[in-house]
Amino acid sequence: MNKLAVVAFGGNALLRSGQRGTIDEQEANTHATSERLLILINKNYDLVITHGNGPQVGNILLANTAGAAMHGLPDMPLDVSVAYSQGFIGYMIEQQLRNVLKAHDLERDIITIITQVLVDREDPAFLNPTKPVGPFYTKEDADKISAETGSVFKEDPRGRGWRKVVASPQPLAVLNQKSIAKLARAHEIVIAVGGGGIPVFFVAENKLQGIDAVIDKDLASALLAVSINADKFFLLTDVPKVCLNFNKSNQQAIDRMSVKEARRYLVEGHFDEGSMGPKVKAAIHFATHSGKDAIITSTDMLGVDNGGTRISVV
């Protein structure tokens, strides 16, 4: 019987620092990442792939804004923009992975599932929007848009301008998780929970509705991995191992962390919320609720024995 792995693609797997984000660049990056997945496939892992969408959904929002300004087109809400990005990124991963499989004489169906994720409308995160989305604006333009739409803007800490911020609520349940598990266990490759999933809530009994929010894709991926009883959870990023004192003279790479140690390092401030923090929290969630290992590593080290940082219960 095959093992089941959930592999969360980090932004670097699709779009790398310094690139413009052309489709050619993204396809080349996706193809390279797909080549690494062969290692897991050859180790008899069934696969569920999740992915981020930060740059892509930002471009969609920017296109919406431009279209509204130039042609009077209706602006699309954030949940619809996330759905757009799931379709386009899923298509890209599906195509490039299929190309890789065919080049190695492997045959698998690859299915992209547009995934909704349930959140709580009363989540405290809605009172304190923190997740930046979309393009940068001047203070004057940000104030104008805020006055017209009620959107909240915050200044970028690196001085690049002002960006809209939205809530990032906790994911409660991944919809269609039974179908995701059934397809994956049937040896099909499933792409799901793109960008953390489309955030939805029950506006009334038995009535779902989208909401203006962004769910952390690593935490949503961890929730899915637990729900479908995955054997391994891989979180791909742009460094081979998690480090203490990152980018300092006393930087120290970590081979293995217990959940207790990982929580202590979080409290001590080793893992920034804008980079490694969400991945460590997602790994803690998976290890705690499944009793199995989560591995944080770079794309180049995926599937390598003793590669990456392993987070386990003990």
Rg (CA), the chain: 19
Of 145, 125, 126, whose CA–CA distance to 134 is shortest?
145
Of 54, 8, 4, 6, whose CA–CA distance to 236 is shortest?
8
Question: Catalytic: which of 10, 52, 164, 217?
Answer: 217
Cα distances (angstroms) measured from residue 216 to each of 23, 136, 154, 185, 190: 24, 21, 19, 25, 19
DSSP result, 88-116: HHHHHHHHHHHHHHHHTT----EEE---E
Question: Which pLDDT value is given to residue 151?
Answer: 83
* Contacts for 37 with CB less than 8 Å, ≥ 6 apart: 7, 47, 49, 97, 100, 302
Full-model pTM: 0.90
Question: Which pLDDT value is given to residue 18?
Answer: 76
* Contacts for 203 with CB less than 8 Å, ≥ 6 apart: 121, 209
Is residue 292 part of the annotated active site? The answer reads no
Question: Which pLDDT value is given to residue 80?
Answer: 92
Question: Which pLDDT value is given to residue 247?
Answer: 83
Question: Which pLDDT value is given to residue 109?
Answer: 97
* Contacts for 277 with CB less than 8 Å, ≥ 6 apart: 266, 271
Amino acid at 148: E
Longest dimension (CA), the chain: 60
Question: Which pLDDT value is given to residue 126?
Answer: 93
Question: Which pLDDT value is given to residue 241?
Answer: 94
Question: Catalytic: which of 10, 29, 53, 131?
Answer: 131
* Contacts for 123 with CB less than 8 Å, ≥ 6 apart: 167, 169, 170
Is residue 128 part of the annotated active site? The answer reads no
Helix (H) or strand (E) holding 72, with range, is none
Series of mean pLDDT values for 10-residue runs along the chain (314 residues): 92 76 90 94 96 78 68 81 93 96 96 97 92 82 88 83 89 97 97 96 94 94 98 94 90 96 95 86 98 95 90 95
Question: Catalytic: which of 164, 232, 241, 279?
Answer: 279
Is residue 144 part of the annotated active site? The answer reads no
Question: Which pLDDT value is given to residue 176?
Answer: 97
Helix (H) or strand (E) holding 49, with range, is strand 45-51
Is residue 72 part of the annotated active site? The answer reads no
Question: Catalytic: which of 11, 54, 90, 308?
Answer: 11
- Domains recognised in the chain with CATH numbers: 3-128+167-312 (3.40.1160.10), 129-166 (no CATH)
Question: Catalytic: which of 2, 12, 99, 176?
Answer: 12
Is residue 29 part of the annotated active site? The answer reads no
Question: Which pLDDT value is given to residue 65?
Answer: 66
Which two three-digit tokens encode residue 282? Answer: 């997602």
